[in-house]
Amino acid sequence: METLELNRMAPITSSMIRPTDRPRSVRDHAKENAEDLALFREFLGGLASGNRESDERSSREAFTKIYLRYRERVYAYALRVLSNEQDAEDLFQEVFFRVYTRAESFTEEKSLGGWIFTIAHNLCLNKVRDRKPQDALDDLALPAEHGSYGATSDLGEDGREVIARAMALLPIEYREVIILREYEGMSYTEITEILHTTIPSIKSRLYRAKGKLRELLAPYYKENYR
């Protein structure tokens, strides 16, 4: 089968992220999982069939569909966790390279989306652990005084930039659980599979994460909405 060339597939940029997307419903998840599984079986079928051109073409097309379904979500996740566009782009590419080259390790007992995000989670952890102390996000501190970022309208709808900066200041274990639950709309069960923990732990972490986020955002809202 031809070598995977992600840079020739539809690329993604930060402008494609839709941070105000609503979480998907349980019905959406069930439909998505069924469609994912069908696509993945078609992809694997082409890998296992040998060198027949028609099978290879069908397999590539199935993988492209999977890529297009998840590219924005994976990139958005990486960008929110890492707070760095270049790191997010590099990691995003690596995620889909691993999905392609390690396809046979996927088990159908798990959702394909959960498996993809597990790969992204592990790569993000490695990236964060490899960062040097001076790479800390000290320059992303929230404003203590009114006017540091200009008028509220300059920040975009609902002060998204301020929220993104606050998210970047959270410890990664808090940041990820908010991203997966609130942005990705994942169930607690799906999150436990990705973060390798328990539902009570996820709920506790989410409660603490939201508390910390409120604390970080308090000065901004005090100045702009009093």
pLDDT in tens, 118-143: 999 999 999 888 875 444 444 333 33
**Residue for token pair 């079986």:** 41
CA dist., res. 186 & res. 192, Å (int): 10
DSSP the chain: -PPP-GGGS----GGG--TTPPPPPHHHHHHHHHHHHHHHHHHHHHHHS-S-HHHHHHHHHHHHHHHHHHHHHHHHHHHHHH--HHHHHHHHHHHHHHHHHTGGG--TTS-HHHHHHHHHHHHHHHHHHHS-GGGS-GGGPPPSSTTTT--GGGG-GGGHHHHHHHHHHS-HHHHHHHIIIIIS---HHHHHHHHTS-HHHHHHHHHHHHHHHHHHHHHHHHHH--
Average pLDDT, the chain: 76
Rounded to whole angstroms, how far apart are CA atoms 100 and 59? 11
Q: How confident is the model at residue 19 (pLDDT cuts 50, 70, 90)?
A: very low
pLDDT higher than threshold 60 for residue 159: yes
More confident residue, 90 or 144: 90
Largest CA distance in the chain: 67
Q: What percent of the chain has pLDDT over 70?
A: 70
pTM score = 0.72
- The one-letter amino acid at 15: S
**CA dist 179 to 73, 175, 176, Å?**
10, 6, 5
Higher pLDDT, residue 30 or 140 = 30
Min mean pLDDT across 13-22, 35-44, 61-70 is at: 13-22
Give me the residue label for tokens 């993000």.
Answer: 124
Whether the per-residue pLDDT at 70 is higher than 70: the answer is: yes
